[in-house]
Structure 1
Amino acid sequence: MKIRKMIGLYLAMVLFFVAGMPEKSFADIRPTTQTEAASRMPTDGETPGIEGNPSVIRGNGAMAGEGISQEPVIDPANASKPDVSEPIYDPTSYTKDDFFAQKTLKGIYSSTELYFYVPNYWDVKYVYAQVQYDVSQLVEGKSSSVTFSINNVPIQSYKLEYKNGSPQIVYVKIPMSEVRMGFNSVSISAYARLFDEEGCVDDDSDANWLRIDGTSHIRSGYEAKDPEHTISYFPYPFMSTYNPTGEGLSIAVSDQAANGEVGAAMNLMADLSSETKQENNIQVCLLSDLANKNPTRTILVSIYDNLPQEYKDLVLKAPDTTENATVTFTNDLKGNPLLIITSMSEDSLMEAAYMLMDENRVKQESGNIASVEKGSAQLAVNAGKQSDMMAGNYTLGDIMGRGLTYVGPFHQENYIYLPVSQDFVLSDGGKLALKFRYSENLDFTRSLMTVYWGDVPVASRRLSKENASGDEFNFEIPGDMVGTAANSIKISFDLEITDLICTPRQGDMPWAYVSKESTIFLPPSSDTSLFFDLIGSPFRNQGKFNNVMMVVSDQPSGDELNLFGQVVAMYGNGIKPYGSFLVRKASEFKKDDGDYNLITAGTFGGNALLPQINDKLSFKYSPDGAGFESNEQLILSKEYAGQIGVLQLLKSPFSLNRGMLAVTGSSAQTLLHIQEFLRHSKQRNELTKDCVIVAPDFHTTAFQFLQGTAVKAEPAPLEKLVQNKRSVIFTIIATSAMSMMLIGVIIILIRIRMYRKRNE
């Protein structure tokens, strides 16, 4: 009996201990460092982590000494009148304007930020902000002000006052001593009080507003530094802020167009295309095409033996082994910048391309010659595998460099701009673990925290006085958000106060603070989706090329390479190095090589792969290849069928769970129309469904032929553990209980047997 009691007690203790254990936050299994999130240059829609000089708010004593980033509330009595005269500076060769998004600031205290970037090749002469704004007619100038700060350092405060409903403009000179290389933040903090004949009406929180117009901007005047053939400046001068389309840049390969040459050139095309915005005028061509293109800047990728002698003479240090690649920054015979990437082995050309794409590596090359060892890319891949296993795990400190601060009554909100790649789509199991605190002078019956995925509310939590000094909010992002993309999370607080007086002291103003230790887990989706709407899938994953094989014709022309370059640029915006990208000639392509996401382009007679897959195309070629045949969704006239080009996404005929893009045309002219169409980002972004006809006038018609094209990829074991943590815990509990029960039964049976033997 004692043994049975002990077993039962032990089993109960095990179950109680396991069931009562708090679930470990996913923050506990995240990597200790997130250097990539902090160091990489963000693409469009992303915001970098900025570490400022936080000041300390002292309200109710709860936040003192915390080092919380907070813009000061300037006493309006000490603010000056707005400077309405545009600053006058000596003219510079170049200027760049960074525009604020149109936004309305509401409440007694609210703020917004704009980030601008200073490249290392800028010699900045001046920076100033021009802000056009409107204010509520109830805002009282004697008790309202706006403060401008650069990198969390206040620089100027102005009075806010209503002016007959007319838009107002204020100019703010930004001290050059506070402007730094890389990202800079300019914040606008408004302290706006309300006034009418009866006195203050601050309890009407929507009435005290400051609207910033979208024409507001930060203007930087600069001169361009001489790169002096220093590789560390790359991609400057081949790409620059004063030439945002890449006009005049040619990326050339030898006339033999070896697979390794084309692969390295396409990766560089994808990388440099990230620098272009509305239009991409970078050219990809054969070396013999350069005479006709007359480039002002050239990047040449070639096996050393394929280089003409005149270019070999320009290589400052010939490759001395069959393993390494060399990068030479020099001038061509016309005196224009020339970058030569060469090696005895074509496999090493991609190594050099990856080095140039990796900002942390290229900035180490302080000379005009760089030697790239074969295998260096694999070292970088191996180093990134651990962080890739836990991709999507961030703390607020990783992303922002600080926590989030909210000051003032009523509705306050802050955005967290996520360091995710442009191909990011949310998978199952997205979670947030927020740690925060707030002042105790709130009306807790009406005060609330709300979290948004993009602009869609996903969770909310009422605030309570007993948790004011340390609250937590852990939740999973709802399932209806799975498969959606967002580049920001918004966290808002409604800080309501009972008996709000007319002019509260700053120390009595309500506040909230979200700790930088708060954790965000955003697992990326590994589904394969064949829609142009999801521009990255299936050719990108987590910002890198995802097992891509590009199949070109046996003797690609310069026009064909240019077309492939624009296709790669479409999928390569914001691409990171060290992905998987191969090139094959059509005659070399074997079905056994088909376990890739394929990209191919050409005409029926020019690319030998297209006849092989013709029966799989949504718009099939006619038997003579002079046009396309009608199908169940569109009847084509014979003339129109010979004038159009077609972008067609389809399931790969050669492998399960892989996709394929076929850029098809009946002639070189129709393919040229597609090439020019893809140069414009607005037109690329309007591509939709899985098949698009491009007419000679760039008019497009989209069709949906594929159904159920999202293919679930099997998650990695660690992803399964993170995403199914509760199931794993339950399984452990159940297995432990069953094991203990089995042991108990065995012991009981043994004791019964022993008892019977004694009686016998």
Structure 2
Amino acid sequence: MKSYDFNIKRLLTIVILSIILFISSFENVVLAEQNNNIGGKSYIKNEVINDDITFKGVFTSHSIYFNIDKWWSIENVDIEINLSVNQLVDVTKDSYITFNINGVPFYSSKLVYNPKQEVQNIKAKVPIDNLKEGFNEFKIDGYCRITDKPCTDDINTANWMIIKKNSKLNINYKEKITDNIIKNFPYPFVKNNTSQITQIVLSDDYTDMDLKNALLLSSYLGKNDTNTKYKSEIIKYSDLIKQKNNNNIIFIGSKNSIPNEISNAFKDVSTIDLSNNSIIKLGNSPYKGDFEDVKVMLICSENDSINLKAIKFLMNSELTTQINNDAFIISENINEEIKVEEVNKLITFESMGINEMQFKGPFRRTGTVAYFIPKNRIVTEGTNIKLHFRYSDNLNFNKSLITVYINNIAIGSKKLEKENALADTLELSIPSNIIKNNYIEIKLAFDLELIDSYCEMRQEETPWALIDGSSYIYSETQNSLGYFFEKYPAPFVLDNRFNDVLISVPDSLSSKELTSLGKCFSVIGKEINGNVGEIDVSRYSNLNGREKNKNLIVYGTPSTNTLIKDLNKKLWFKYDDNYNYFIGNEKLYLTEPFNSNISMFQLDLSPYNTQKAMLVLTAPNNDILLNSLSYLESSNEVNKLTGDSIIIDEYGDIRKFRFKEEDKKPVYEKIIGLDKSSRGILIIVALIFIFLLASTIMYLIKNKKRKFK
């Protein structure tokens, strides 16, 4: 019997071990399969705090928001906070700092002032399980005491701590390897925070339409690239094969111009009729170097206009996300254009992605909403903001209020009232003179006071306030007058679409020049919505008079683009008779050899059509001109440009000039721009003036008749 029991036990043990081994092997298979979809190269994305953050009082907090890309496989996230505390915080005082991720606390530390270490360094690891795809909130909670009297600590100016501006989050990740599916576009051709770039490749004998398609695609990739400087290139095929290539590639051209390496990778393309069709084909790059995940996309047709449809198709995410395949045929019957609405005057918080804004805890709580208007527009009178909000009913209503700031300038406040706690509103006019550019920052501040709350020893989630997503900004705008670099890329972009643009380029461009022009258009693309709007590209030899009815961008030296010579008499800094150097004017006297080693940008009315604009980018020296384009290749550099004329020397130093005065609005336009109440007052004043004038005239006439009698 004992032997029988022993055998049964041994058999059960073998069965259990077999099951465990089977499950373990299955788990290993699954994990191996998952690991195969993750790249081996590790990357770091740093989210740095750019300004010092000051905490005052007992309970304080600050939130930092960061993005987790859906194509990242997170390895770890490290927090490194540098802070200084006031000299009164010693071991006998209860002072702490707590870190939270998405509302979940994960680290706390006691704070003590250390005279040997004025700036303390705190490091912690974020629990990966608490992270989510998209935006995440990292919140720092501070609790600082310097006495045993809570009432004093809340209002004592000596009770402070500072989070230093070099504090940061380090996001360590690997990239997920993508399938060859078009619906993922623009990924992997747009990747944030990696050294890998995208190369748009053209044949060496590219056409004007090929270059137009490349610049248009660059504008779209630039719009989707969150880096401050666009990393992609436009190059010719002959330069592509000279280098070891780890970059993703997009080839644009005709069937006959497809490189052999791509033809061999996509052999089925040769059998497709592309006379009135275009193919978009995605696959693994035949040029792959030592990177694991390198792609090539082919955009090919014998018909230039159909290739343009393919580019616009890729710019329409509503269409690309439907293509769960590695290839798609674009026919002339496809409707690829995105319907672009007129500039919407009424923008709800909900339409900006804000369903609600929550404010929790006592004292001042703030939140910020950012809003951009097209660069070609200016805000006029009649712009206002309307807030729908609610709040807890246990406040000290003698001291609680809401304040609205526009670009850090207070425009109004409202006292909170108990009877309106569940449904309150606030409507304020926004003065046009406090909005100097196309960026509007709205800061909402609630002062949520409880009776004797400053004497509480513990922090409460209440009181609270909430801004509803139905709150809105009503923005009265009009087209700005005059052409100045402060408004660039206007007038070439009007209401977020290309505005009848023609780019005049030399007959031959190097890959470096093509890349620089592509980067310029990546910056312009950040102002573009949709895929409509007119844009054209032409060599000088192919212009055929089209420059007379377009908004012109002219690039080149006098020797590479003859249109520069035609325009010379209209330039503020003109070339000499031999086109070797610039001549000074009343704004700046130019010396030799400085005048031959500079570039000049001029933004002005087109001399061919006063209803159109012209941007001239020129220099006597081609290399100096190419280097000067760096000021148009990133948003940060563009923001340094003002006025209507720029001179850039060979060292990259700039001089800015304003030759034209800004056009003044006609009186009737100023009146139209007024809000209803202002116009009403103006009408009443005008009627009173007319009545007084008529009465005076009648009195004088009557008095004159009496004297005559």
Q: TM-score range by the shorter chain?
A: 0.7 to 0.9
Preserved contact between residue 111 and residue 189 of structure 1 (Cα < 8 Å):
yes
Q: Which residue of 2 aligns with 1:221?
A: 172
- Could you tell me how far apart the structure 2 residues matched to 1:455 and 1:584 are? 46
Structure 1 residue 344, shift from structure 2 partner: 2.4
What's the CA shift string for 1:468-515, capped at 9, x where partnerless? 443211112112134433353111123345544522665695433322
Preserved contact between residue 110 and residue 412 of structure 1 (Cα < 8 Å):
no
Tell which has more relative contact order, 1 or 2 (C-alpha 8 A, sep 6+): 1
User: Closer, same or farther in 2 for the Cα pair 1:120/1:498, shift >3 Å?
Assistant: closer
What's the CA shift string for 1:235-281, capped at 9, x where partnerless? 4444433535x65x432223333232111211222333453745545
User: Closer, same or farther in 2 for the Cα pair 1:399/1:199, shift >3 Å?
Assistant: closer
Q: Which residue of 1 aligns with 2:618?
A: 664
Using structure 1 for the length normalisation, give the TM-score.
Answer: 0.73
- Could you tell me how far apart the structure 2 residues matched to 1:351 and 1:539 are? 21
- Could you tell me how far apart the structure 1 residues matched to 2:334 and 2:284 are? 27
Q: Which residue of 2 aligns with 1:334?
A: 287
Q: Does 1:158 align with 2:108?
A: yes
Preserved contact between residue 528 and residue 538 of structure 1 (Cα < 8 Å):
no
- Could you tell me how far apart the structure 2 residues matched to 1:699 and 1:214 are? 29
Q: Does 1:256 align with 2:205?
A: yes
Q: Which residue of 2 aligns with 1:351?
A: 309
User: Closer, same or farther in 2 for the Cα pair 1:707/1:727, shift >3 Å?
Assistant: closer
Q: Which residue of 2 aligns with 1:117?
A: 67
Secondary structure of the 1:546 match is strand
Output the amino acid matched with 2:304.
E
Secondary structure of the 2:152 match is coil
Preserved contact between residue 374 and residue 495 of structure 2 (Cα < 8 Å):
yes
What's the CA shift string for 1:496-543, capped at 9, x where partnerless? 455445226656954333223222234555325522233332233454
Preserved contact between residue 617 and residue 650 of structure 1 (Cα < 8 Å):
no
Structure 1 residue 649, shift from structure 2 partner: 1.1
- Could you tell me how far apart the structure 2 residues matched to 1:588 and 1:177 are? 59
Structure with the higher fraction of residues in strand conformation:
2
- Could you tell me how far apart the structure 2 residues matched to 1:710 and 1:544 are? 25
Structure 1 residue 347, shift from structure 2 partner: 2.0
Structure 1 residue 227, shift from structure 2 partner: 2.5
Preserved contact between residue 531 and residue 689 of structure 1 (Cα < 8 Å):
yes
- Could you tell me how far apart the structure 1 residues matched to 2:381 and 2:210 are? 40
Q: Does 1:99 align with 2:57?
A: no
Preserved contact between residue 251 and residue 299 of structure 2 (Cα < 8 Å):
yes
User: Closer, same or farther in 2 for the Cα pair 1:210/1:611, shift >3 Å?
Assistant: same
Secondary structure of the 2:219 match is helix
User: Closer, same or farther in 2 for the Cα pair 1:485/1:681, shift >3 Å?
Assistant: closer
Output the amino acid matched with 2:72.
W
- Could you tell me how far apart the structure 2 residues matched to 1:729 and 1:370 are? 59
Structure 1 residue 331, shift from structure 2 partner: 4.6
- Could you tell me how far apart the structure 1 residues matched to 2:447 and 2:545 are? 60
Structure 1 residue 564, shift from structure 2 partner: 2.3
User: Closer, same or farther in 2 for the Cα pair 1:476/1:374, shift >3 Å?
Assistant: farther
Q: Which residue of 1 aligns with 2:432?
A: 479
Preserved contact between residue 354 and residue 377 of structure 1 (Cα < 8 Å):
no
1:173 to 120, 125, 132: 125
Structure 1 residue 311, shift from structure 2 partner: 4.6
- 1:53-202 alignment, distance < 5 Å: 93-102=42-51, 103-137=53-87, 145-151=96-102, 153-156=103-106, 158-159=108-109, 161-164=111-114, 166-181=118-133, 183-190=134-141, 192=143, 194-196=145-147, 200-202=151-153
Q: Does 1:436 align with 2:389?
A: yes
- Could you tell me how far apart the structure 1 residues matched to 2:493 and 2:145 are? 51
Using structure 2 for the length normalisation, give the TM-score.
Answer: 0.78
Q: Does 1:650 align with 2:604?
A: yes
What's the CA shift string for 1:635-670, capped at 9, x where partnerless? 223432222111111122233453221101113223
- Could you tell me how far apart the structure 1 residues matched to 2:194 and 2:516 are? 22
User: Closer, same or farther in 2 for the Cα pair 1:199/1:330, shift >3 Å?
Assistant: closer
- 1:667-686 alignment, distance < 5 Å: 667-675=621-629, 678-679=632-633, 682-686=636-640
- Could you tell me how far apart the structure 2 residues matched to 1:426 and 1:271 are? 27
Structure 1 residue 625, shift from structure 2 partner: 1.8
Structure 1 residue 432, shift from structure 2 partner: 0.9
- Could you tell me how far apart the structure 1 residues matched to 2:186 and 2:259 are? 25
- Could you tell me how far apart the structure 2 residues matched to 1:144 and 1:556 are? 64
Output the amino acid matched with 1:447.
S
Preserved contact between residue 399 and residue 419 of structure 1 (Cα < 8 Å):
no
Structure 1 residue 433, shift from structure 2 partner: 0.6
- Could you tell me how far apart the structure 2 residues matched to 1:329 and 1:493 are? 52
Q: Does 1:282 align with 2:232?
A: yes
Preserved contact between residue 245 and residue 288 of structure 2 (Cα < 8 Å):
no
Identity of aligned residues (%): 25
- Could you tell me how far apart the structure 1 residues matched to 2:242 and 2:258 are? 18
Q: Which residue of 2 aligns with 1:568?
A: 521
Q: Which residue of 2 aligns with 1:54?
A: none
Output the amino acid matched with 1:366.
N
Preserved contact between residue 130 and residue 172 of structure 1 (Cα < 8 Å):
yes
Q: Which residue of 2 aligns with 1:546?
A: 499
- Could you tell me how far apart the structure 1 residues matched to 2:124 and 2:664 are? 51
Output the amino acid matched with 1:149.
N
Secondary structure of the 1:201 match is helix
- 1:570-649 alignment, distance < 5 Å: 570-573=523-526, 575-580=528-533, 581-589=535-543, 594-649=548-603
User: Closer, same or farther in 2 for the Cα pair 1:707/1:396, shift >3 Å?
Assistant: same
Preserved contact between residue 109 and residue 189 of structure 1 (Cα < 8 Å):
no
Secondary structure of the 2:561 match is coil
Structure 1 residue 185, shift from structure 2 partner: 1.7
Q: Which residue of 1 aligns with 2:6?
A: none
Secondary structure of the 1:562 match is helix
- Could you tell me how far apart the structure 2 residues matched to 1:202 and 1:700 are? 51
- Could you tell me how far apart the structure 2 residues matched to 1:511 and 1:139 are? 30
What's the CA shift string for 1:554-589, capped at 9, x where partnerless? 444445433422332343346444142222333443
User: Closer, same or farther in 2 for the Cα pair 1:150/1:487, shift >3 Å?
Assistant: farther
Higher Rg: 2
Preserved contact between residue 59 and residue 459 of structure 2 (Cα < 8 Å):
no
Preserved contact between residue 404 and residue 412 of structure 2 (Cα < 8 Å):
yes
- Could you tell me how far apart the structure 2 residues matched to 1:689 and 1:677 are? 14
Output the amino acid matched with 1:393.
I
Secondary structure of the 2:455 match is coil
More deviation, 617-626/273-282: 273-282
Preserved contact between residue 154 and residue 454 of structure 2 (Cα < 8 Å):
no
- Could you tell me how far apart the structure 2 residues matched to 1:112 and 1:374 are? 54
- Could you tell me how far apart the structure 1 residues matched to 2:351 and 2:459 are? 27
- Could you tell me how far apart the structure 1 residues matched to 2:105 and 2:132 are? 15
User: Closer, same or farther in 2 for the Cα pair 1:607/1:172, shift >3 Å?
Assistant: same
- Could you tell me how far apart the structure 1 residues matched to 2:589 and 2:452 are? 71
Output the amino acid matched with 1:260.
M
2:643 to 674, 689, 692: 689
Structure 1 residue 591, shift from structure 2 partner: 5.4
Preserved contact between residue 362 and residue 460 of structure 2 (Cα < 8 Å):
no
Preserved contact between residue 516 and residue 633 of structure 2 (Cα < 8 Å):
no
- Could you tell me how far apart the structure 2 residues matched to 1:530 and 1:163 are? 56
Structure 1 residue 171, shift from structure 2 partner: 3.5
Segments of structure 1 that go 5 or more residues without pairing to the other structure are 1-90, 732-760
- Could you tell me how far apart the structure 1 residues matched to 2:637 and 2:142 are? 42
Output the amino acid matched with 2:404.
V
Preserved contact between residue 233 and residue 363 of structure 1 (Cα < 8 Å):
yes
Secondary structure of the 1:547 match is strand
Give the CA RMSD over aligned residues.
Answer: 3.8
